[in-house]
């Protein structure tokens, strides 16, 4: 079981997923392509249909504090505008549409965060990324959904001010700190006022403690799951050493994801959830199928 005992009820869905599907498959911004845009309800449906156990969603805010599902910095590519979405009002954002998705007579709008999440109440597990500098206002907005056990908050471990806000906030949302080394993880995982359920392990090098079973086992002993980020970024910056989704495409899913299972990794953040599923499911015990 992950998480501290006082948060067992909050973490029930996470532990249920880990008990039946390990490693967890976390779809990056859902599954998108063709007429489906990232960070939208259709992308979430696509991820679920592709075997994902959770969906990583990016959070942005309008200038007047309406929350959207969008990774700022991709406005020109996805929406055809130069302005950063966070400098626009909600009225301006609501007029935008994805330039390569949807249909000519039916514009494909940027999804508002709260209605999109509410659509999956009781159905999906989300990891909310790029939101920590908007706490606690965002947390108060999320409270209206009454689905805290479905929402894992991701935040770099070095953002101490953000974790101080979590310590003070009454609702103890599950938290996934991003950690570059064991020292950062140690600062967070045992804090009784933060509901840490897992750790996202980040490293640009394969010669790193995260590539040792000892480090992974130590994190497990503190009651957290370990997530490896296998995204192959267009920047070329590796997120988990030399292991990424491209290996699954160019060689095989076994080559890409096999070493992660050997390390004891519990969750894989990927752009190709069906490839991870094709690797994982034949290895599941009969009782888990």
175 in Cβ contact with 185 (< 8 Å): no
| Domain containing residue 191: CATH number | 3.20.20.190
In this predicted model, what pLDDT tens digit does every residue of 167-194 receive, in sequence order?
Answer: 999 999 999 999 999 999 999 999 999 9
91: in domain: no
> If you write DSSP's letter for every residue of the chain in order, what string do you get?
--S-GGGTTTTHHHHHHHHHSSSEEEEETSS-BTTB-SSSHHHHHHHHHTT-SEEEEEEEE-TTS-EEE--TT-HHHHHS--S-GGGS-HHHHTT---SSSSBTTB--PPPBHHHHHHTTTTT--EEEES-GGGTTHHHHHHHTT--GGGEEEEEETT-HHHHHHHHH-SS---EEEEESSHHHHHTTTT-TTS-B-EEEE-BS-SSSGGGSHHHHHHHHHTT-EEEEE----TT---SBTT--HHHHHHT-HHHHHHHHHHHT--EEEES-HHHHHHHHGGGS-GGG-
49: in domain: yes
159 vs 135: CA distance, rounded Å: 12
98: in domain: no
Largest CA distance in the chain: 56
210 vs 219: CA distance, rounded Å: 10
240: in domain: yes
- Paired sense of beta strands 24-28 and 267-270, if any: parallel
Measuring CA to CA, which residue among 147, 132, 124 is closest to residue 49? 124
Range of the domain at 173: 5-61+117-283
Residues of the chain with pLDDT under 70: 285-289
Angle value at C-alpha 124, between 120 and 130, nearest 5 degrees: 90
Measuring CA to CA, which residue among 249, 187, 199 is closest to residue 229? 199
161: in domain: yes
Looking at residue 285, what is its pLDDT?
58
Indicate the number of domains in the chain.
Answer: 1
76: in domain: no
Looking at residue 97, what is its pLDDT?
95
CA distances from 86 to 62, 65, 132, 135, 284 (A): 5, 9, 15, 16, 43
Looking at residue 60, what is its pLDDT?
98
Measuring CA to CA, which residue among 272, 11, 78 is closest to residue 93? 78
171 vs 195: CA distance, rounded Å: 10
79 vs 74: CA distance, rounded Å: 8
Looking at residue 206, what is its pLDDT?
95
194 in Cβ contact with 166 (< 8 Å): yes
254: in domain: yes
Looking at residue 100, what is its pLDDT?
84
13: in domain: yes
């Amino acid at each position: 079981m992950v998480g501290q005992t006082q948060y067992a009820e909050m973490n029930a869905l996470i532990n249920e997923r880990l008990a039946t599907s390990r490693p967890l498959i976390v779809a990056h911004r859902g599954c998108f392509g063709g007429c489906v845009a990232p960070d939208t309800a259709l992308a979430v449906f696509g991820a679920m249909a592709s075997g994902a156990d959770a969906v990583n969603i990016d959070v942005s805010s309008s200038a007047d504090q309406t929350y959207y599902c969008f990774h700022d910095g991709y406005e020109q590519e996805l929406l055809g505008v130069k302005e950063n979405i966070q400098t626009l009002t909600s009225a301006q954002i609501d007029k935008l549409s994805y330039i390569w998705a949807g249909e000519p007579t039916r514009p494909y709008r940027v999804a508002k965060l709260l209605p999109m999440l509410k659509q999956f109440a009781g159905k999906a597990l989300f990891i909310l990324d790029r939101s920590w500098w908007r706490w606690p206002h965002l947390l108060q907005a999320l409270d209206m959904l009454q689905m805290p056990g479905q929402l894992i908050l991701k935040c770099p471990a070095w953002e101490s001010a953000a974790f101080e806000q979590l310590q003070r906030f009454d609702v103890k949302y599950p938290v996934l700190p991003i950690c570059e080394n064991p020292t950062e993880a140690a600062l967070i995982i045992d804090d009784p006022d933060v509901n840490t359920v897992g750790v996202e392990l980040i490293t640009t090098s394969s010669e790193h403690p995260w590539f040792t079973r000892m480090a992974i086992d130590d994190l497990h002993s503190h009651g957290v799951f370990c997530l490896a980020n296998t995204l192959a970024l267009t920047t070329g910056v590796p997120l988990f050493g030399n292991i990424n989704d491209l290996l699954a495409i160019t060689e095989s899913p076994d080559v890409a994801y096999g070493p992660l299972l050997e390390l004891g990794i519990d969750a894989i953040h990927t752009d190709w959830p069906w490839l991870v599923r094709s690797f994982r499911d034949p290895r599941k015990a009969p009782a888990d199928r």
